[in-house]
Amino acid sequence: MKEINITTSFLVFDTFQELPNDIQDLMNQAVEIRKIAYAPYSKFRVGAALLLDNGKIVLGSNQENAAYPSGLCAERVAIFHAGSIYPEAKILKMAITAASDTNQTQAPIPPCGSCRQSIAEYEIKQDTPIEIYFMGETGVIYQSASLKNLLPFMFDKKFL
């Protein structure tokens, strides 16, 4: 028997102002789209902003549905929208922010498992890492250089 150790690393920005200017802009757009998320059931709003290699920014917010699990997370709304309107573009950076209507989220909120798998599909397809920045409503911001940090054992087409 062997043991495998996997180490991941993240950059931590203590304040919003520490972020590079382009990421501040991307995160501000994620915050704005988060505010109009459709979250009447969970009261948990998420916004995502993607920067593509063609310079376009694509936004997404979570969209809930009374018939769970028919809703969709902000990250997948944005990534699927980008894939449908800019199929040849690469996703360079993703900013994610989450806030609750009932309490303040201070810890960075990472993508859920389904979103991680969807992001992995695009990262593998484009053969280029996607930088992911995520935060709560306030507090520190984490930056992952690649989805592989969040999902080291990715399932992809090579297993099919």
The CA–CA distances, whole Å, from 105 to 27, 42, 146 equal 16, 14, 24
pTM above 0.85, yes or no: yes
Catalytic-role residue among 64, 75, 123, 131: 75
Is residue 50 within 8 A of residue 38, CB to CB? The reply is: no
Is residue 87 within 8 A of residue 58, CB to CB? The reply is: no
- The full set of domain ranges for the chain reads 19-159
CATH of 19-159 among 3.10.400.10, 1.10.3720.10, 3.40.140.10, 3.60.15.10 = 3.40.140.10
Whole-angstrom Cα distance, residue 35 to residue 31? 6
- One-letter-per-residue 3-state SS of 101-119: CCCCCCCCCCCCHHHHHHH
To the query of whether residue 137 is one of the catalytic residues in this protein, the response is no
- Reading the chain (160 residues) residue by residue, the pLDDT tens digits are 999 999 999 999 999 999 999 999 999 999 999 999 999 999 999 999 999 999 999 999 999 999 988 899 999 999 999 999 999 999 999 999 999 999 999 999 999 999 999 999 999 999 999 999 999 999 999 999 999 999 988 888 888 8
